[in-house]
């Protein structure tokens, strides 16, 4: 189930005794835990009826679940450890045997930061019990609604287009978006309307957005701006190989657009195939229009060859990304000059 399904369970009062929170969307996961606490733990007795275990053994987990709640109907046990679900041998079997016996007075929640190995027996057992809640990044309209709602909570109005622009600029991480929403709202203290100009002025671009801007500046042959954007990424500690992988992703994405345009695919199909939000797709579409298929093919090949040279030890990564960008610039200029 996802976070919406879990909210419905809480509203209906049908809380499973065995749960697993997985996935990388930390904000939604934390909000779900807060809602679970409110549903299970009576006011004033929260600390007495909640047990948080870090890297516990099977016996410790079982003991906590068997402890009766104090002045409450249920006790909440939170197991914070990825390895708890990758058990083996006697410890694993103890938990497998105990899961069907968890008393109604307990809610046993396993908390993981990512997605555990679905092949493990403990994971399979929780899945069979219907207790897995997956917190994936929000998509498209969910993200737009999240941003609009975030501004509304702070007394600001934000239209859908501006919300999409903020997501395109900052990414889909809810925690980061909330920080940006708070920053922009504070800046717009004298007005209740948030604009795209506010986002441009105040929002901190994600790595993906900065790479998009770099590729955009290649199109317009802005050498200084291109290298300045790269320098800003490096100054924040972003690894050169990661920047290279993002450049490769960007050029590949534009190449796919060119191929699908050649095959006369519709825009709805193209956006779905690429898996990008509507606002981002319109930006990628615009960017792709400035490139030829040959230019993008060369850019992709250059990125791949450079990545292979670095990983095979034939090339030091210092300066490698700069070389790729300069090649892209020169390639674009020479091709434009011949057209």
pLDDT at 88: 63
- Report domain extents, the chain: 3-134, 140-202, 207-338
To the question of pTM greater than 0.85 for the whole model, the response is: no
Fold topology of 140-202: Helicase, Ruva Protein; domain 3 (1.10.8)
Q: pLDDT at position 124, please? A: 86
CB 40 within 8 A of CB 34: no
pLDDT band at 179 (very low <50, low <70, confident <90, very high): very high
What homologous superfamily does CATH list for 3-134? P-loop containing nucleotide triphosphate hydrolases (3.40.50.300)
Residues in contact with 192: Cβ distance below 8 Å, sequence separation at least 6, in sequence order = 155, 156, 157
Report the CATH number of the 207-338 domain.
1.20.272.10
In the predicted model, is pLDDT for residue 311 greater than 50? yes
What the block records as the tokens of 116 is 């555990």
Nearest-angstrom CA–CA distance, 64 and 185: 44
Residues 161-170, mean pLDDT to the nearest whole number: 89
Cα separation of 74 and 229, whole Å? 54
Q: How confident is the model at residue 84 (pLDDT cuts 50, 70, 90)?
A: low
pLDDT of residue 82: 60
pLDDT of 178 reads 92
Q: How much is the pLDDT for 104? A: 87
Q: Mean of the per-residue pLDDT values for the chain?
A: 82
Percent of the chain residues topping a pLDDT of 70 = 91
Is residue 289's pLDDT more than 50?
yes
- Residue 98: pLDDT band (50, 70, 90) is confident
Query: Residue range 9-22: average pLDDT?
Result: 85
The reported pLDDT for the residue numbered 338 is: 43
Q: pLDDT of 251-281, one tens digit each?
A: 888 899 999 988 888 888 888 888 777 777 8
The pLDDT tens digits for 120-161 are 788 888 888 888 899 888 887 888 899 999 999 988 999 988
337 band by pLDDT with thresholds 50, 70 and 90: very low
Residue linked to tokens 């320098």: 231
Query: Residue 222: is its pLDDT beyond 70?
Result: yes
Mean pLDDT across the stretch 84-108?
Answer: 79
Mean pLDDT, rounded, for 87-95: 73
| pLDDT band with cut points at 50, 70 and 90 for residue 181 | very high
**Residue 32 reports pLDDT greater than 60:** yes
pLDDT value at residue 336: 46
């Amino acid at each position: 189930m996802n976070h919406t399904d879990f909210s419905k369970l809480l509203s209906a009062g049908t809380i499973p005794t065995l749960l697993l929170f997985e996935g990388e969307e930390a904000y939604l996961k934390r909000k779900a835990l807060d809602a679970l606490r409110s549903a299970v733990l009576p006011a004033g007795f929260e600390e007495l009826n909640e047990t948080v275990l870090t890297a516990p053994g099977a016996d410790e987990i079982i003991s906590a679940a068997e402890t009766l709640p104090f002045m409450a109907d249920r006790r909440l046990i939170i197991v914070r450890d990825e390895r708890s679900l990758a058990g083996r041998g006697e410890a694993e079997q103890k938990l497998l045997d105990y899961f069907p016996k968890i008393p109604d007075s307990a809610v046993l929640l396993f908390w993981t930061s990512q997605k555990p190995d679905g092949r493990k027996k403990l994971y399979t057992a929780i899945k069979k019990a219907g207790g897995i809640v997956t917190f994936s990044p929000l998509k498209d309209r969910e993200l737009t609604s999240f941003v609009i709602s975030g501004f509304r909570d702070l007394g600001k109005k934000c239209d859908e287009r501006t919300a999409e622009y903020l997501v395109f600029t900052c990414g889909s991480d809810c925690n980061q978006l909330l920080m940006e929403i708070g920053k922009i709202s504070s800046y717009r203290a004298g007005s209740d309307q948030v604009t795209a100009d506010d986002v441009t002025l105040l929002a901190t671009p994600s790595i993906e957005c900065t790479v998009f801007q770099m590729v955009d500046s290649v199109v317009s042959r802005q050498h200084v701006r291109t290298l300045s954007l790269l320098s800003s990424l490096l100054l924040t500690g972003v690894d050169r190989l990661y920047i290279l992988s993002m450049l490769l992703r960007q050029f590949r994405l534009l190449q796919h657009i060119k191929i699908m345009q050649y095959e006369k695919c519709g825009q709805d199909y193209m956006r779905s195939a690429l898996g990008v939000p509507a606002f981002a797709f319109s930006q990628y579409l615009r960017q792709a229009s400035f490139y030829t298929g040959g230019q993008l093919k060369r850019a992709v090949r250059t990125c791949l060859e450079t990545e292979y040279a670095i990983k095979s030890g034939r090339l030091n990564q210092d300066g490698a990304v700069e070389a790729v960008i300069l090649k892209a610039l020169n390639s674009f200029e020479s091709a434009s000059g011949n057209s």
